[in-house]
Amino acid sequence: MKRILLIAVTLLILSVPGFGQQTVSDKDLATALWVMSQTMPEGFTLDLNTMSYPKEGLIVAYEATQNSFDRKSLPAVIKHAHAHENLVGGWYNADDDRFYFDSSRSFPEDSLAAAMAFARENAQLSLHVTSLNINVRSDYEQEDLRIILDCDMGSSTDDLFALMMLYRYMDMKRCTLLGVVVDRMNRANADAVDVLNNYYGYPDIPIALERAGVADPHVYIPYHNMAYARSTDAEPLFKRSIGDDGDYMDGYKLYRKLLAAQPDKSVTIASIGFVTSLARLLESGPDEYSPLSGVELVQRKVKNIYAMGGVFGDSFEHDYNFTAAIDFSLKFFELLPKDIDIVFSPGEVGDPLYYSAAQIIEDMDWTDAHPIKWIYQFLTEDKFQKMWDPLAVINAVEGDDIFYKLSPRGWVTLTPTGETIFREDPNGNARYQYPGPEGWSDYVLKYIRLMSIQH
Ligand SMILES: [Ca+2]
């Protein structure tokens, strides 16, 4: 009977719009919050100003109210909330079967970097994204992560999102993007990367182009003209650092230049396209940047490789990235030093990550002139492209086994017909990502979307 009464009190309090704390005593509020904890196992955020549940916001708890999990703790939580943002969060922790209360702060959803910095200052494990209803981990180690992105920009749109995620990770100081190798032969594809570098605020990141790679790869979505988009006044829509007369280094040359300048075993390569530039790097000899051969340089400087590619599950479809340039790929597999870890994100893992054109345009509605949005508005219909490439970037930055599981260690060999064959061995250098369980793809897609809405 008492419980029913409490619920009634809570519902009464919450059902009156604008029923502010002036008219609800802190004692009643504590009662209401306690009832909510008993009846809302999914958790809640309550704005004490309006007595309503916010529909948006990155919610971060204050460290000061950490470990408030019983009814006695509520007055202190409410007091702290009144002195700060008047926001109280509640969440159930299945690990210890307790419901925790926090005084919280809300950041705009496009301010992830600021919210993340605050969460880390406050020793929080995660922050809550209200509109997407997901929690994002904030207790990561701040590593000195140095990444080279090797992409086939210009064929599929997932490369755009992989690069976008790297800029966002840099906003959060989670990595340094040393350079972008465009493993495609048309300079327009490098110009597109130049546009993205500028758009996302990193105009000086070096870009290189492959000039002896795959001659005529299949293009799923042609967007190489994005770099030359013009407004109705015929003005260039997007800024570039490298003008039409400017030049790009060869892919393998930029690899050599960047690797030579880095500490030993410090560079992560995210390979989300062909491996032609990597093969040419491994075949290269000493030059003005390093007296080492390509193999020696990679062995000394590279820490690990995260590659989108490979087929290890039940699918009979051969991988695209390796088969499109099989001779280069065979060379890459042959020459890659065996002590360098390589993690594959097979196509089937990314297959459920469908980010629709309509959703992309909506998520980027905060600006008119956006290079990725422009592609979806003017160059392509929805071709049901999946977000395969961001997985390799996410794994590279977030760490192994965080965004679901990797296989045991083993060795991967590539056959001349493009099959990737995995042989388990605890001493092997290779692992591959397993397809996620139910709900996983929904989470990952929302995570990518969260990055899209940042600005
Ligand atoms: Ca790609």
Q: Is the pLDDT of residue 1 over 50?
A: no
- Burial class of 142 by CB neighbour count within 10 A (0 to 12, 13 to 18, 19+): exposed
- Kindly indicate the confidence band of residue 126, based on its pLDDT and cuts at 50, 70 and 90: very high
CATH classification of the domain holding 434: 3.90.245.10
Question: Is 133 in the same domain as 163?
Answer: no
Q: Which residues pair with 61 in a beta bridge?
A: 104
Distance 84 CA to ligand 1 centre (A): 46
Handedness of CA 334, 337, 338, 343 (dihedral sign): negative
Q: What is the pLDDT of residues 334-376, one digit of tens each?
A: 999 999 999 999 999 999 999 999 999 999 998 989 999 999 9
Instruction: Return d(Cα 196, Cα 161) in angstroms, integer.
Output: 10
Question: Is 217 in the same domain as 365?
Answer: yes
Distance 202 CA to ligand 1 centre (A): 21
Determine contact, residues 271/308, Cβ cutoff 8 Å: yes
Question: Is 219 in the same domain as 116?
Answer: no
Output the six-digit token pair for 23: 């008219």
CB atoms within 10 A of CB 118: 19
Question: Is 80 in the same domain as 205?
Answer: no
Taking the whole predicted model, whether its pTM rises above 0.85 is answered as yes
Name the least confident of 10-24, 87-101, 335-349, 398-412: 10-24
Question: Is 294 in the same domain as 329?
Answer: yes
- Burial class of 309 by CB neighbour count within 10 A (0 to 12, 13 to 18, 19+): buried
Instruction: Return d(Cα 38, Cα 54) in angstroms, integer.
Output: 20
Question: Is 151 in the same domain as 122?
Answer: no
Question: Is 132 in the same domain as 205?
Answer: no
Question: Is 296 in the same domain as 391?
Answer: yes
Distance 160 CA to ligand 1 centre (A): 9
Q: What is the pLDDT of residues 293-317, one digit of tens each?
A: 999 999 999 999 999 999 997 766 7
End residue of a domain, out of 87, 119, 137: 137
Question: Is 218 in the same domain as 322?
Answer: yes
C-alpha 319 chain-centroid distance: 22
Distance 25 CA to ligand 1 centre (A): 58
Distance 110 CA to ligand 1 centre (A): 26
End residue of a domain, out of 137, 159, 188: 137
Distance 321 CA to ligand 1 centre (A): 7
CA atoms within a 13 Å half-sphere pointing along the CA-CB vector of 71? 10
Tally of domains in the chain: 2
Label the pairing between strands 267-271 and 249-250.
Answer: unpaired
Question: Is 54 in the same domain as 202?
Answer: no
Instruction: Return d(Cα 256, Cα 287) in angstroms, integer.
Output: 9
User: Chain-wide mean pLDDT for the chain?
Assistant: 92
Question: Is 49 in the same domain as 165?
Answer: no
Residues of the domain holding 219: 146-452
Distance 213 CA to ligand 1 centre (A): 14
Question: Is 268 in the same domain as 380?
Answer: yes
Percent of the chain's residues with pLDDT above 90: 81
End residue of a domain, out of 85, 108, 137: 137
Distance 301 CA to ligand 1 centre (A): 24
